[in-house]
Amino acid sequence: MPARTHQKAKLARYFRKNMTQGEARVWAALRILDAPRFRRQAPVGPYILDFYAPRWKLCVEIDGPLHDVERDLTRDAWLLARGVTTLRYADEELDIEAIVRDVLARA
C-alpha cells in the first residue's frame, strides 16, 4: 500500500473513532435504513467522505464550524465529475428526519 494511501486509511480510521455528536447521530440514522448502505469516513480519491453510499454514488457531509467552503466546493466538483451527489448539512442545525428523507429521495 503506498504511503499516501496508508496515511489516508489511518486518518479515516481516526475520524471513525472520533466522530462529532452530529456525525454520530446521522450515522445511527443511516445504519438502520433499508437502502442505501453507507460507509462512514470513507476514503474516495483524494478525499475522506463523512458518509458514502457507493452503490448510489451518494455522499452525506456534516459540516462543522471550521469547514473551508472553498475546499468543499472543490471537493464537491471533483465528486460530481465522477457522478457522486453530495448532500451537505451544517452540524449545528441537524434535522435527522430531513436528512433521512433527502437520502431516501435519492436512493
Euclidean distance between CA atoms 93 and 30, whole angstroms: 17
Question: Is 0.95 surpassed by the pTM of this model?
Answer: no
pLDDT band at 10 (very low <50, low <70, confident <90, very high): confident
Higher pLDDT, 15 or 32: 32
Q: How many CA atoms lie within 13 A of 84 on its CB side?
A: 22
Question: With contact defined as beta carbons under 8 Å apart, do 20 and 66 qualify?
Answer: no
- Residue the block writes with cell 466546493: 73
* Tens of pLDDT, residues 34-68: 777 999 999 999 999 999 999 999 999 999 877 78
Q: Residue 1 corresponds to which cell in the numbers above? A: 500500500
Torsional sign, CA 19, 68, 78, 82: positive
